[in-house]
A = this chain, B = another copy of it.
Amino acid sequence: MKRLWDKGAGIDEVVHHFTVGDDPILDRELLYWDCIGSAAHARGLVTAGLLDEKQCGDLLAALHDLAELAQRGELTIPPELEDGHTLIESELEKRIGEAGRRIHAGRSRNDQIATAMRLWMRSATLEMLDALSTFMTALRGRIADDGDTPVPGFTHMQPAMPSSVGQWLHALFEAGLEQMRAGLDLLSRLDSCPLGTGAGFGVSLNLDRAHTAELLGFSGPQRSPIDVQNSRGRKERYFVRVAVDVGALIEKLACDCMLLFSPPLALIGLPDEFTTGSSIMPQKRNPDVLELMRARGAAMRSLETELNWVTAKLPSSYHRDLQLTKRPTLRAANEALGLLDVATRVVLAFTLNHDRLRDAMIPELYATEAAFELVRGGTPFRDAYREVAARIKAGALKAPARAEAGLADPDALNEALSEFEALALRTHEVRDRVRQAEFAIFSPD
């Protein structure tokens, strides 16, 4: 057997190469999950009376073996086999004969890949949430250590009002919390099992879909077979968006650091081992790491666009176009994880130039405070505003530098930290549940 649908006719090699595309490479990352999904399907076939216990045992043992090879990266997909599904069925047949030819009963590559991708996305979401927690823990540490250090707050790239390291990093922490919530919402969206829907119109073989869904750690089956196919690209889009939003968060951190780092401001520094040099200018120390965080964070958005181009304007059900949903999805996870990793190191490493920070807290930053003082004394705000504007024009602004101005609100911060704990806990619960199911899949008690 070569291709699963091989009926003896030849194939044009250019066409074959074009249709196979990157699958032999991309599917390597999916093989492990395909083995997991296949194990659940094999166990389901027993319940449906289409496989005996012995055959199922052989299949599970062989799939377990393949899963481990896959995890170690030792399973490669020869291009003539088209994709990972074909490799697995072919390996099973080679290893255990007839049982291998039985496993595709009641399934199609259409529900098989949907299942593998769903499992992969669930796992990758948990991995992103993990990396996000680590990043946020670094933010929390810097807030604890340096939160009270005053920094000018900038609007329009101009010094505007008194702020602080804590107030700044608290904002990024809140954006991180929003991403954690989004990640948990995403896990709910991914929590239904495509297995047992066949090519996209159901299977008349008495499969117990609720059972296989449970085996795989899902709350239940994805109800509509056509929607299983229609949701390819849709579920991926949800996934990619969470990754893209992580990218946007790191992009903002990078832009903030660029502003504070760049001379003559130079309010923060980077250790030498975080900067790079010029091949021609001996004096340069450049924040390339920040520039690439900005650029890679920004560019991730094109992955959502790529996904949309692939799936747009398609009628319901399966089309070969859907194959191309894999690349941007896998790449999005990769980019998000790389960005979180390097961003965590940047948060831990940047230094504060205290002298310059002190000089930067110029009197003009407190102009609004001056107006508020008048307001507290009874002046209508708009009148106070004009009064202070006049003082500034006359060079007579006395800055009421209030030490506490611009500090992060401690109650708000504590509330945020508590929410972080709660969300991290919920994430761990999901992780424990699904890991347990995945771990147990090859071993029917």
A323 touches which one: B292, B316, B376 (CB < 8 A)? B292
Specify which chain B residues have a CB less than 8 angstroms from the CB of A369 in the assembled complex. Answer: 204
CB pair A227 B170 closer than 8 Å: yes
Q: How far is the CA of A10 from the CA of B271 in the complex (A)?
A: 10
Assuming the contacts A158-B286, A251-B312, asked whether A382 and B273 have C-beta atoms less than 8 A apart, the reply is no
Answer yes or no: A46 CB below 8 A from chain B CBs: no
- Name the segment of A27-35, A259-267, A426-434 touching the other chain: A259-267
A315 touches which one: B154, B264, B278 (CB < 8 A)? B154
CB pair B281 A200 closer than 8 Å: no
| A162 and chain B: residue at smallest CB distance | B201
Answer yes or no: A394 CB below 8 A from chain B CBs: no
- Name the segment of A66-74, A122-130, A407-415 touching the other chain: A407-415
CB pair B226 A170 closer than 8 Å: yes
Answer yes or no: A61 CB below 8 A from chain B CBs: no
Please give the distance in Å from A221's CB to the nearest CB on chain B: 8
Stoichiometry, as copies per complex, reads 4
Answer yes or no: A352 CB below 8 A from chain B CBs: no
Specify which chain B residues have a CB less than 8 angstroms from the CB of A415 in the assembled complex. Answer: 223
Assuming the contacts A153-B201, A226-B153, A321-B291, asked whether A5 and B380 have C-beta atoms less than 8 A apart, the reply is no
Specify which chain B residues have a CB less than 8 angstroms from the CB of A203 in the assembled complex. Answer: 372
Answer yes or no: A198 CB below 8 A from chain B CBs: yes
A174 touches which one: B224, B381, B393 (CB < 8 A)? B224
CB pair B201 A19 closer than 8 Å: no
A106 touches which one: B102, B103, B271, B372 (CB < 8 A)? B372
Q: How far is the CA of A224 from the CA of B16 in the complex (A)?
A: 34
CB pair A167 B104 closer than 8 Å: no
Cβ proximity bits A1-18 to B, threshold 8 Å, 1 near / 0 not: 101111101111011001
CB pair A342 B227 closer than 8 Å: no
Specify which chain B residues have a CB less than 8 angstroms from the CB of A76 in the assembled complex. Answer: none
CB pair A277 B224 closer than 8 Å: no
Count of residues in A whose CB is under 8 Å from the partner chain: 169
A interface, over-half SS: helix
Q: How far is the CA of A3 from the CA of B382 in the complex (A)?
A: 12
CB pair B105 A18 closer than 8 Å: no
| A244 and chain B: residue at smallest CB distance | B308
CB pair A9 B272 closer than 8 Å: yes
CB pair B10 A273 closer than 8 Å: yes
Cβ proximity bits A264-294 to B, threshold 8 Å, 1 near / 0 not: 1100000111101111111111111101101
Answer yes or no: A405 CB below 8 A from chain B CBs: yes
Specify which chain B residues have a CB less than 8 angstroms from the CB of A223 in the assembled complex. Answer: 170, 174, 409, 412-413, 415-416
CB pair B273 A11 closer than 8 Å: yes
CB pair A317 B274 closer than 8 Å: no
Specify which chain B residues have a CB less than 8 angstroms from the CB of A371 in the assembled complex. Answer: 280, 282
Cβ proximity bits A288-318 to B, threshold 8 Å, 1 near / 0 not: 1101101110110111011011101111111
7 A-B pairs closest in CB distance: A5-B277, A171-B226, A295-B321, A105-B381, A302-B306, A101-B380, A223-B412
Specify which chain B residues have a CB less than 8 angstroms from the CB of A131 in the assembled complex. Answer: none
Please give the distance in Å from A72's CB to the nearest CB on chain B: 22
Answer yes or no: A361 CB below 8 A from chain B CBs: no
Answer yes or no: A421 CB below 8 A from chain B CBs: no
Cβ proximity bits A149-192 to B, threshold 8 Å, 1 near / 0 not: 00001111111111100011011111100100100010011000
